[in-house]
Structure 1
C-alpha cells in the first residue's frame, strides 16, 4: 500500500510575443501536495496531469556534468521550435475523449484569467432539442467605440464657431470648441483633455453675457486652472480637430477564423490545418463571401492584394455599413515544416477577436493561442437535432470566452445558445464580433495604449493649432514652431526609431532655414541657405507661405496617426 506522496503537476507558463513572432510556451514542474478537487475540474486535471516522473537535470559526478554540458550545447544549437513550443503529453487526447458524452465548447485555463459565456455549470442544461432558438435580429445593437467622436463634425463644422487652445499646469494641453446655435438660443461646447472629451449644451438665457472661454471650460471641468485661452485662427483648424476627434472611429474590422478538428488541442495542430471540409466551407459562407485578393479594392485588413503574399483568397463581407475582412487560417500561406505557421500567426495573432469553428467535440482552451492582442474568441460548433425531429439538419451552438478584464458585451446569448437558422446565426455572430472588439478596447492593455495615443495626439494638435495660428498673425514663436514640428516628426512616421530620428533632425534643420536664423556649429554661425535651395524640399515649403495657400498635406500628421492608433486600423 502506497503512502502519500508529492505529485509533480505540469503547468504551462506562457511567454508571449506579438503575433508576428508567435509565442513561447514552457513547461515548469512544480511540487504540490495531492488534493481532492471538485468533479467539474476533472477535465482540467487531465490537461495538467503528467505522463511520467521528471528526472533531475544535473548530477554530481564529473562525467555527468560533462555530459550535461554537451547536451546543453546541443540544445542551444538545435531547432528553436523544440525549445519554444509545448507539446501535450501523448496520452492526453485518448484520456480526454474517454470521458464520454458531449464536451463543452470551451475550457478555461488552469490558472484562470478568462470568463466563459455560458458558464460551464450551465453546459449540462444546453440541449439542441430545446424549443427556444435565439433572439430576433431587432435586439442586436452594434456598439459605438466613441459615441461623441462625431459631435464636432455634426454640430460644429456646418456652423460658425470658434476654437481655443491652452496648456493647463495640471491637465496639460486643452482644445476648446464653442458654437452658438442661434435657432435654439444655446451654446454647444466641447473640451478636449488627455483623458477624454467633454461635451455640454448651455442655454444662453442662463447668462447675462456670453461667458468667456475659461468660464465655459470650467463648467465642463472644474479642474481647469488656466487664466486664458488663445484663439485659433488657422483656416484649416477644423480639419485637424476633426481628424483628432475621429481618430478612433472606423467602419472597418478584421477578425481571425480558426478551424479546429476533432482531437486538436494545441496551437500548432489548429494552425497546421490546410484542408477545408464542406462543413467548414458552409460556415465560411455564413460569415461572408470568398473573394480573390488580387486587385481587391475593398477593406483588405492587412492582406496583400497585389503580389499574392498572403494567399489568393479571403472571406469578406459588408455588414450594416461596415466592411469586415476575415483572416481565415486555412486560406493564409502554409509553410511546410514550420510547426508554428508564422505566416498565419502574424495575421491572426495580431487580431483582437477570432472565431473558432469546431468540427467535433474537442473543446477549445481559452489560452491555447498565445498573443498579446487576441482577447476574445467566439466558438461555434455544429450539433445535430434529436431523433424523430423534422428536418434533421444541423443546428449551431455558440459559446464566448474573453480575458477577465474585458467587460461583457451584447447581444446576449440565447438560452440555450442554439441557432437553427443561418441568417440569425450570421446576424448574431457579426454583431457579437464587432461589439467584442469594441469591448476589448476597454481592457487594461488597450486602454493604456489608447490613453498614450490620445495624449500624444492632443499634445500635437494643441501645438499645431497654436503655432499655425500665430503664423497667420505674422509672429510665429520659435519655441511653439519647434514643439509643433517635433510632435509631427514623432507621430507621423511609421518607419521605426531610426526613421523617426532622421525625420526629427530634418524637421529641425528645415525649421532653422525657414525662420531665417543662422545655424551654428561649434559656436560659429553658418551662412543661411538661399531660399530657392530650401524650397526644393516639400517639407519646408509648407512653412514658407502661411495662410490659405498651405497644402493639404499639413494635416497628414494626424490623419496618418489614425491608421496606427489601434491594431484594427489597418487598411
Structure 2
C-alpha cells in the first residue's frame, strides 16, 4: 500500500484594501459604559497568529499599568487552557485592568468598576479581585487560581514579555528578468531593487544582526543589504550577494539561505505579462511571497513606483496594515509601509501549522517556569 506524502500548502494572493473583521474577546464579556475606562482592550479574533502580533502592546500595557505599582498576580499551573498568569489592579479612577496570559497569547482588558455587581460583604476586606475576575472573565477557572506574592515575580514577568518580542528579521530576495517565471531562474540574477529597502554593508566585522551570514571569513559573500527600521533590524538574503556556482542550475548555496526565510521578496523586472509561478517555490519554510513589479516611468532609468502583490500559504490570515495599496511610490514613506507589511507578514506566519505548535510550547514553558520558580 502506497501512502501519499502530505501536500504542500497552496499559496493565495491577498487582496489590497481588505475589510477588517472584529469579534468578541475569548475571555472578557462586553459591557457598555459611560465611564472613560474602556470596557475591552482587545476585540480582535483570537487565533494562534495573534501570538506574537501584539507583543509590544502587551509589554507596554504591563509596564504602564502594573510594573512598580501595587497589583496582584494570580497563577494556575494546571487548567484546560494550560498554565495561566493573571495580573490585576484597580487604579485611582476605579478602572479594572487585567492582563491574562495563557499559552495561546495574552489578553489586555480594561473594565469600569462601576459596571460590576459586587456584594457588600465581599468589600469588607478590600477589593475582591477574584469576584471581579469571575464577572469579567467567566471562562477563567477561578477555583484553580492562587495568589502569588513573590517580590521577584513582577520583574520575571517583564523579562518574559521582553523575550517574546522579536526585533530581528531575515527576508529572502531575488529578481526575475523579463520572460522568467521560476524561482530557480531568479536565484542567478542581479537585484538592484533592494537598495531602496536597505543599505549595503560589509559583512566581515559586522556587529549587528547577521541572519546566519558569515561575518568573519566571507564564506557567504562579502556584502549584504541591511535595514535598521524603528527598533527592528532586517537583514536581506539577496541572491546575487550570496555565493554563486555557475555549474549549479538550482543554486543550492543561495537556496540554503532564501529557502529558510519565512518571507521572500520577488522583484519581477519588465512589463511583460508573465507572472511568477508560485508553485515553483519548493521550500516548506517560505510562507509569504511579496512580488514587486516596476511601474513604467517614461524616460527615467529608475522606476518612480512599484506594483506590489502579496501571496501567503493557506492557513495565514490577512495582516496589518490591512488597507495595503497595490502601488507604492519609491519614497521613504512607502518603504516604511512595505517593511511594516513584511514584518507583520512574518509574524502572521507564526500562526501557520509549521510554526504554531513550537511557539505554543515555548510560551507554555515560559509560563510554567515562572510559576514553578516564584510560586
Mark yes or no: TM-score above 0.5: yes
Q: Which residue of 1 aligns with 2:296?
A: 384
TM-fit CA distance, 1:442 = 3.6
Partners of 2:11 and 2:311 within 8 A in 1: no
CA distance in 1, matches of 2:158, 2:371: 13
Query: Can you list the C-alpha shifts for 1:480-517, whole angstroms capped at 9, x where unaligned?
Result: xxxxxxxxxxxxxxxxxxxxxxxxxxxxxxxxxxxxxx
In the alignment, what sits opposite 1:366? 278
Contact 2:72–2:88 (Cα < 8 Å) also in 1: yes
Q: Which of 54, 61, 72 does residue 146 from structure 1 map onto?
A: 54
Name the TM-score, length of structure 2 as normaliser.
0.74
Larger radius of gyration: 1
1:165 matched to which residue of 2?
75
* Count of aligned pairs between the two proteins: 325
Alignment of 1:147-296 (within 5 A): 148-150=57-59, 151-181=61-91, 183-203=92-112, 207=118, 208=120, 209=123, 210-227=126-143, 229-273=145-189, 276=190, 280-281=191-192, 283-296=193-206
SS of alignment partner, residue 371 of structure 1: coil
| Distance in 1 of aligned mates of 2:6 and 2:188 | 20
Say which structure, 1 or 2, has more relative contact order (CA 8 Å, 6+ apart): 2
- TM-score computed with the length of structure 1 as normaliser: 0.51
Unaligned runs of 5+ in 2: 18-49
CA distance in 2, matches of 1:268, 1:227: 58
Aligned 8 A contact 2:82 2:102 in 1: yes
State how far apart, in whole Å, the 2-side matches of 1:113 and 1:357 are: 17
Range with bigger deviation, 393-402 or 367-376: 393-402
2:302 and 2:186 mapped to 1: Cα distance? 26
Q: Secondary structure at the match of 1:394?
A: coil
Between Structure 1 and Structure 2, which shows a larger proportion of helix residues?
A: 1
**Paired residues of 1:176 and 1:217 also in contact (CA < 8 A):** no
Aligned residue runs from structure 1 range 12-51, under 5 A: none
- CA positional deviation for 1:290: 0.1
CA contact 1:174–1:193 (8 Å) conserved in 2: yes
2-structure distance, mates of 1:154, 1:316: 32
Deviation at 1:313, TM superposition (A): 0.9
* Candidates 300, 303, 318, aligned match of 2:228: 318
Q: CA deviation at 1:305?
A: 2.2
Aligned to 2:24: none
Is 2:10–2:313's contact at 8 Å kept on the other side of the alignment?
Answer: no
Cα deviation 1:50-99 (Å, max 9, x = unaligned): xxxxxxxxxxxxxxxxxxxxxxxxxxxxxxxxxxxxxxxxxxxxxxxxxx
> Is contact 2:79–2:144 with CA below 8 Å preserved after alignment?
no
Task: Tell me which residue corresponds to 1:431.
Answer: 340
CA RMSD after TM alignment: 3.2
Q: Distance in 2 between matches of 1:315 and 1:201?
A: 43
Structure 1 unaligned runs (5+)?
Answer: 1-12, 17-110, 120-142, 467-571
Paired position in structure 2 for 1:557: none
Q: Which residue of 2 aligns with 1:464?
A: 373
The 1:117–1:289 alpha-carbon spacing in structure 2 relative to 1, beyond 3 Å, is same
1:259 and 1:358 in contact (8 A); partners too: yes
